Structure 1
Amino acid sequence: MNLEWFLQYHPVLLALFATLFTWFVTALGASMVFFFKSINRKVLNAMLGFAAGVMIAASFWSLLNPAIKMAEESGTTSWVPAVVGFLLGGAFLFGIDKILPHLHLNRSIDKAEGVKTSWERSVLLVLAITLHNIPEGLAVGVAFGSLANNPDTGVLAGAIALAIGIGLQNFPEGAAVSIPLRREGIRRWKAFKYGQLSGAVEPLAGVAGAYLVTTMEPLLPYALSFAAGAMIFVVVEELIPESQSGNETDLSTIGAMIGFATMMLLDISLG
């Protein structure tokens, strides 16, 4: 692949294309509802574990590590952008988590989080997945946005690796929304619509992140770290607890290991 060909396009446009890809993979995962009415708990745990592993690896290899290197090259104390941005990202998701109404998988409606609302259970389930698609889209957008100040094929390859990794873990996420909705009696097409809709926020967050860092270069290390902190918050708050539910958790642990290794392989080999 001739990566230099992509560099002729504006980073914000590349971020849009990349996050449209991750949304498309979410829709592919959601389309599994047309073939399955239910999903085995072991399989779901393994898929959620894989998603968690990808996000943990991406947080370091594709976001925190480049942020630290950028800070060192600019003469800034290397740990400051990484620590400050990381904690701000977690705080941002913590705030949204307390405000946005949502419901985690396999929870009763009385366990819904965020402000109290009369919204249907299906809507609350979609919002739970949508919540952690925000940092994923933001991470991809910031990665491509960094090309504005460093139009290098290595940076581009790292951003592509991140988009591929996020796309891979979006597949099980789409299925994890649509299939449980189908099991609750919602028609297949409507369950698919809700499942793919959870990924629609990624292009919005991606474009916003890319635009921000292309217009405010000094913020780039902080923005990368911010996205990493938001992603780790989601992993610890949602993905790991959900993947470890049930009596058998070995598959979710193995899935996390494979997900981490997959993302690490993509980042090192492509970036």
Structure 2
Amino acid sequence: MKRTLIATALSLCSAGALANSFQHQTNLDYQWGDILNAELDSYSLSHQFYLSPVQTPNNMPRAEAGFLSRSSSLLFGYQYNQFDFGTLGKTSLSGWSLGGEYRDVSHNFYASLLWTELNNSDDRVGQASLGYYVDPSWLVKLDVEHLRPDGDGSTTQYGISTKKLMTLAHGDFINIEASYMDLADSSLGRFGVAADYYFGQNVSLGLAYDWTTKGVFDPEADAFTVRGQWYALPNLALRAGVTFDSVDTGDDLFHLGASFRF
């Protein structure tokens, strides 16, 4: 048993030493909170396969390796949600997602597609984006969401989003993101802004603000998120976050997660 534990530890350390190049990333996430008069426990598992090895650029944030390398990828995800209504009992909801991203260092164009279906339901969501790298660390996208609620027709809505990674002094970085989606069948728009500050390669702390509004600065609902991530090893990331007053439900949500690269 002792030899097995030692061998396992050595293999993990070796994987970490080689993790500047990887093609797989597996993500495990857990969210919980009291929403809609129920206790929520949400578990998700996703795996991203890069079609070519991803190189982590020297001294750049490890979390941004996929974005900077422009390696195309395929993604599969599964999520399980359990709602506990106390004396009224429990219910669960699960679903899966399949998609991918296309990008390459030989050009500046970007495309992505993600399809999500809920089990035992006709609910489904399709998301697609077309984008352009204005420079190696700045991406601008046009976004489309196709929603098909169970037995309630379908709608399509359009938006725009952007992501920019900036290099600061002393080896630090800041990631800026912004998005807008025109919500179909309503006079509302959904806005989002976020910033993550990278203390070198391995540690980040971020803030996000999301809101829906008829204009821009008069929100009908809004939410703040505080989040952080730490690469404990070159191939192992740990993260945590909390969302205050979720836009969808008005409740607080808590989040823990981990990612492993190989």
TM over 0.5: same fold? no
Category of TM-score, reference length = shorter chain: under 0.3
Q: Relative contact order, CA 8 A, sep 6+: which one is greater?
A: 1
Point out the structure with the larger helix share.
1
TM-score by length of 2: 0.23
TM-score by length of 1: 0.22
